[in-house]
Amino acid sequence: QSVLTQPPSVSGAPGQRVTISCTGSSSNIGAGYDVHWFQQLPGTAPKLLIYGNSNRPSGVPDRFSGSKSGTSASLAITGLQAEDEADYYCQSYDSRLDYVFGTGTKVTVL
């Protein structure tokens, strides 16, 4: 089961800013392990979006940004576009459970 909690869904109009939270515990995010984010478009494999809490791989637009504080992390999408409609997952390492993923958030562009 997922040990990182995300909201099931968020939505916004084109051009707006949305944020997705990822809440963990003292054995994962709170223990200092990095948080990473993935985007999964319908019918495709997950794609790395943010690594090491706030770093973007080459090719990822700077509309996507990540942050981490305490036992939580957040992904922000500014200037929301239709192509951003997808599922988003956070991921970290857990000292008891090895690799852990968030519950996933569906982003809908209104």
Residue ranges that bind another protein, judged by CB under 8 A? 2, 33-34, 36, 38, 44-48, 51-52, 57, 89, 91-93, 97-104
DSSP output for the chain: ---BB--SEEEE-TT--EEEEEE--TTTGGGT---EEEEE-TTS--EEEEBTTTBPPTTS-TTEEEEEETTEEEEEE-S--GGG-EEEEEEEEETTTEEEEB--EEEEE-
Least separation, in Å, of the C-beta of 93 and another protein? 5
| Distance of closest approach, residue 6 Cβ to another protein, in angstroms | 9
Q: How far is the CB of 83 from another protein (least distance, A)?
A: 19
> Closer to another protein at the Cβ: 13 or 42?
42
